[in-house]
Amino acid sequence: MKTLVLVRHGESVYNRANIFTGWTDVALTPQGEQEAIEAGKILKEKGFDFDITYTSVLQRAIKTLWLILEQMDRMWLPEIKTWRLNEKHYGKLQGLNKAEMAAQYGEEQVLLWRRAYDVRPPLLSEDEIKDMRKESRYADVDNIQYMLGESLKDTVERVIPLWENQIKYDLLNNKRVLISAHGNSLRGVVKYLDQMSEDEVLHFNIPTGIPLVYQLDDNLKPINRYFLADEEKLKAAIDKVANQGKAK
């Protein structure tokens, strides 16, 4: 069997404040760091090991990966960092509070912005991203749309080339792969692997800091998929994610 483990970064300062984050590069909270440490501990305890790792170019995912590898005594493992694993870009919503937006525009509209498969948020202008376009970590972005604001469909479409051109071949060559990324970019991987419908993936929540394990056959078809957490902890974490877009 082939081994693939996905981990959504630990709680970030914007997660804690219930703010649309997207490509905004914010740090982990102390709780988020502890979530990453616990992820590393349980992966080591359950006997997991890896040959190569992937992460986004955002510090909350990178730091999560580092903390996991530190706990596993595997900080020497190769890391591939790519913007294709960044969180979904929330356009003009980035930096705004989800509950406040729900109170202003209604929970249904915020849910569309957060979860509708092909609905984009209010988009940034090209002038508003001119500084970001100068950053070397985004030098190879092949479609400016990704930097203006994305639907989940856009996010899935930019994740797939990474899978097809790199991750797939690591797995086919029997490398054990760990990916530390974000809720929506990881949902793109899940949708692709499990051939989920657009509706199914919209209702699949990935909580912060809890490893999602895939066992794949020789054709990279899923044999098994499970979270490394007990049912009570997993349910509480998933409910927390699902309730973020509600007005208070």
Q: Give the residue numbers annotated as catalytic, written as ranges.
A: 9, 87
What is the Cα 153 distance to its own chain's centre? 14
CB 91 within 8 A of CB 123: yes
Question: What is the rounded CA–CA span in Å between residue 18 and residue 154?
Answer: 23
Q: Are 75 and 67 in contact (CB under 8 A)?
A: no
Q: What phi and psi values does residue 79 have, to the nearest 5 degrees?
A: -120, 135
- Report in angstroms the alpha-carbon separations of 248 from 16, 89, 100: 15, 24, 8
Q: Which two tokens stand for residue 213?
A: 């394990």
Q: Which residues contact 122 (CB under 8 A, 6 or more apart)?
A: 91, 92, 93, 149
